[in-house]
Amino acid sequence: MKREHQNRAVNYGLRSIGATMRHHLLLTLGVALAIAGAVITGLLPPLILEKAVNLLSAGEMFPFSLALAYFGLLFVAGLLESCKQALLTVFGQKITRELRHELCQKLTLLPAGVLSMQDAGAVSSRFVSDVDTVENLFDDGVVSMIADLVQVVSIFVILFSRNRGLSLLLLVVLPLVFWYTRHVQKRTLRAQVDNRRALANVTGLIPETIRNIRTIHNSGSASWMRTRYGRYVGDSYRAIEQTNFFDAIYSPIILLTNAVVVGIVMLLSASGNPEIQSFFGMQVGTAVAVISYISQIFTPLENIGMEIQTIQSALAGLTRINEFLGQEETWKKVPGTGRAALSATDVPAVAVQDVTFGYNSEETVLRNFSLTVRPGETVTLTGRTGAGKSTLFRLLLGLYRPDAGQIRIFGQEAAGIPDNEKRALFGYVEQNFRMVPGTVLDQITLFDDGITREMAEEAAKTAELDAVIRQLPKGYDTPCREGLFSQGQWQLLSIARAIAASPRILLLDEITANLDAATEETVLKAIKNAAGGRTVLSISHRLSASLGGRQIALAPEAGESS
Ligand code: ATP
Ligand code: MG
């Protein structure tokens, strides 16, 4: 199963690369040329060095053109290497942008019910870190790995042509070096993951502390919070120490290996034994080139280790992205009855028929529930906490689909109503106001171009909040922030937001639950202003908040008929 997921992710990854390559042919060509150029120019300088030293040691003149070629090649190699990096980054970013675009589209297509069941942090890490790992797949993954492999093999072939004994020695040493490199890299990575986890705990703890600061002081939990903080910081410190340790030991051991290999080869090449000489003997110039190549071969080897790591995590990221993109967009499949039905007056505003629903398979919240509400009618729903009142509203709003039965809003199946038609249909007021970043006006319009400033002001007047808003420093254009309004006023703002688009149905969920009697009066008055001619469904624990009209009691898991 896991393999199948991974294969699908690989396919998906290859398709994304293929598509990006097709769209950006010139860029692809540039990347390929830069890589080939960087590898070749990187290999040539030691060969020139070999020639130069051999000429000098034979007492011949050192041609100026050779020196020029040597430094020229070093310069071009550096230039091509930067080109390669820059082009790879551009290429990776193009893929990333397309991936994020696709993810974003999916996000808007997924039903709210499906999304609300998922952990917000996990979903956003699909967008951020998983996409980043896929970008790395190109920057530091597949392409660089091919370049590094070519480099290792080419150096090896050159060394084999110069000194067979050395290449045999390297056949033993290189696998050991690679094993050591992977070992250190894996340990380092584990320590880095531990550190990130510890840091995430710390960054989570700080907002938690700020949010609950009053409770922390009131309950004397400050020292407990401090201990937790200290523990996370300690975890992070230990993990960083481990990383530092591995960082510190890696390079010296590689340098030592390098020196030992060079030492052995030099000793053997200088030995008088003709048999050893046939394997290890070489000219002075060749010796210089060989020393340079040996030190060159360790770097790509180390890179390959990291690249394997990058590819592994990119595959994991791709698998998760693929899973996200593969989720079913259930509401698209519900056949809508079209806009016409929404304006009909002869059908019930709300028709709930034998609905059974549970958020998960273990627990049923509503069982065989039925309710019919005529256009213009006011209905108050009561029932003890947990009876499923708010759940019923979410079903009416089409955020979830019932497991059995039917829900029709003006004749149209609730889950099939397109999002862009919902605001003209439902005004939904919750127990708590949910602020969006922006001004007070934005809170009412929700950035909907269809709602003009006049409409928003009219809504605020109906909600009895217009005068309060006008007294703010910048009136409707005051940036919204916590503490700008009292709890009752936030509720009035909620009502203004709900009625701004003149919806046909008002859904009021416990909107006066947290208010004192006087404020409750104001809110009820605002609601009565807003209710004019509309269908109103109101949830209330306390009948005192009733708006009149019919009362329906919801018992948990029991069917209530209208
Ligand atoms: P209250 O009067 O306290 O607001 P309610 O009648 O509105 O209660 P609901 O919020 O509809 O009750 O909850 C009904 C049941 O559904 C509860 O048992 C609750 O645990 C469960 N429930 C509510 N929301 C979810 C959710 N998002 N996921 C899983 N279960 C949920
Ligand atoms: Mg509720």
pLDDT of residue 344: 56
- Read off the pLDDT band of 10 (50, 70, 90): confident
Residue where a domain terminates, one of 293, 328, 363: 328
Instruction: Beginning with the edge strand found earlier in the chain, give each strand of the sheet holding 550-553 in spatial order.
Output: 426-429, 505-509, 535-539, 378-382, 550-553
Six token digits for residue 453: 């400033």
Q: Is residue 14 part of a domain?
A: yes
For ligand 1, pick from 116, 356, 359 the residue to mutate: most ligand atoms within 8 Å of CB: 359
Query: What CATH number did the domain enclosing 93 receive?
Result: 1.20.1560.10
Question: Once rounded to an integer, what is the mean pLDDT over residues 62-81?
Answer: 90
Same domain, 91 and 175: no
Kindly report the length of the chain: 562
- Read off the pLDDT band of 542 (50, 70, 90): low
Q: Is residue 344 part of a domain?
A: no
pLDDT of residue 177: 92
Asked if 264 contacts 223 with a C-beta cutoff of 8 angstroms, the reply is no
Tell me which residue has its CA closest to atom 3 in ligand 1: 385
**How many angstroms does the Cα of residue 461 sit away from the middle of ligand 2?**
28
| pLDDT tens column, 121-169 | 778 888 888 888 888 877 778 888 888 999 999 999 999 998 888 899 9
Same domain, 188 and 156: no
Q: Is residue 67 part of a domain?
A: yes
**How many angstroms does the Cα of residue 391 sit away from the middle of ligand 2?**
7
Tell me which residue has its CA closest to atom 23 in ligand 1: 391
- Read off the pLDDT band of 2 (50, 70, 90): low
Number of domains in the chain: 3
Output the furthest CA–CA distance in the chain (Å, rounded): 112
Q: Which ligand is nearest to the CA of 387?
A: 1
DSSP state of 523: H
Q: What is the pTM of this model?
A: 0.67
- Read off the pLDDT band of 544 (50, 70, 90): low
Q: Is residue 298 part of a domain?
A: no
Instruction: Find the domain containing 196 and state its range.
Output: 164-281
Question: Once rounded to an integer, what is the mean pLDDT over residues 435-440?
Answer: 94
pLDDT over 70, % of the chain: 94
pLDDT of residue 336: 47
Six token digits for residue 11: 């396919």
Same domain, 209 and 186: yes
For ligand 1, pick from 356, 389, 508 the residue to mutate: most ligand atoms within 8 Å of CB: 389
Tell me which residue has its CA closest to atom 4 in ligand 1: 385
Residue where a domain terminates, one of 245, 263, 281: 281
pLDDT of residue 302: 86
Angle at 303 between CA 24 and CA 296, to 5 degrees: 110
Asked if 246 contacts 184 with a C-beta cutoff of 8 angstroms, the reply is yes
Tell me which residue has its CA closest to atom 18 in ligand 1: 386
* 484 pLDDT above the threshold of 50: yes
Same domain, 96 and 114: yes
| pLDDT tens column, 369-395 | 999 999 989 999 988 888 899 999 999
Q: Which residues pair with 439 in a beta bridge?
A: 479
Element housing 535 (H / E): strand 535-539
Number of alpha carbons in the 13 Å side-chain half-sphere of residue 153? 6
pLDDT of residue 331: 53
Least confident of 19-33, 38-52, 61-75, 270-284: 270-284
* 345 pLDDT above the threshold of 70: no
Question: Once rounded to an integer, what is the mean pLDDT over residues 408-412?
Answer: 92
Q: Is residue 300 part of a domain?
A: no
Same domain, 169 and 80: no
Query: What CATH number did the domain enclosing 424 receive?
Result: 3.40.50.300
**How many angstroms does the Cα of residue 390 sit away from the middle of ligand 1?**
7
Same domain, 141 and 168: no
**How many angstroms does the Cα of residue 554 sit away from the middle of ligand 2?**
12
Same domain, 323 and 355: no
Q: Which ligand is nearest to the CA of 361?
A: 1
Tell me which residue has its CA closest to atom 10 in ligand 1: 390
pLDDT of residue 232: 93
Q: Of 464, 479, 454, which is closest to residue 528 (Cα–Cα)?
A: 464
* 550 pLDDT above the threshold of 80: yes
- Read off the pLDDT band of 560 (50, 70, 90): very low
Residue where a domain terminates, one of 260, 295, 328: 328
Same domain, 130 and 168: no
Q: Which residues surround ligand 2, an ion (CB under 5 A)?
A: 390
pLDDT higher at 451 or 522: 451
Same domain, 214 and 137: no
Q: Is residue 317 part of a domain?
A: yes
pLDDT of residue 561: 43
Tell me which residue has its CA closest to atom 30 in ligand 1: 359
| pLDDT tens column, 180-191 | 999 998 898 889
For ligand 1, pick from 390, 396, 428, 507 the residue to mutate: most ligand atoms within 8 Å of CB: 390
pLDDT of residue 334: 47
Six token digits for residue 323: 């899973």
Six token digits for residue 163: 């000194």
For ligand 1, pick from 365, 428, 432, 554 the residue to mutate: most ligand atoms within 8 Å of CB: 365
Same domain, 194 and 135: no
Same domain, 21 and 56: yes
Q: Of 271, 275, 273, 274, which is closest to residue 263 (Cα–Cα)?
A: 271
Mean of the per-residue pLDDT values for the chain?
A: 86
* 333 pLDDT above the threshold of 60: no
Same domain, 410 and 509: yes
pLDDT of residue 562: 41
| pLDDT tens column, 288-320 | 898 899 888 988 988 888 888 888 888 888 888
Q: Is residue 345 part of a domain?
A: no
Q: Is residue 112 part of a domain?
A: yes
List, chain by chain if needed, residues with CB within 6 Å of any ligand 1 atom: 116, 359, 365, 383, 385-391
pLDDT of residue 427: 93
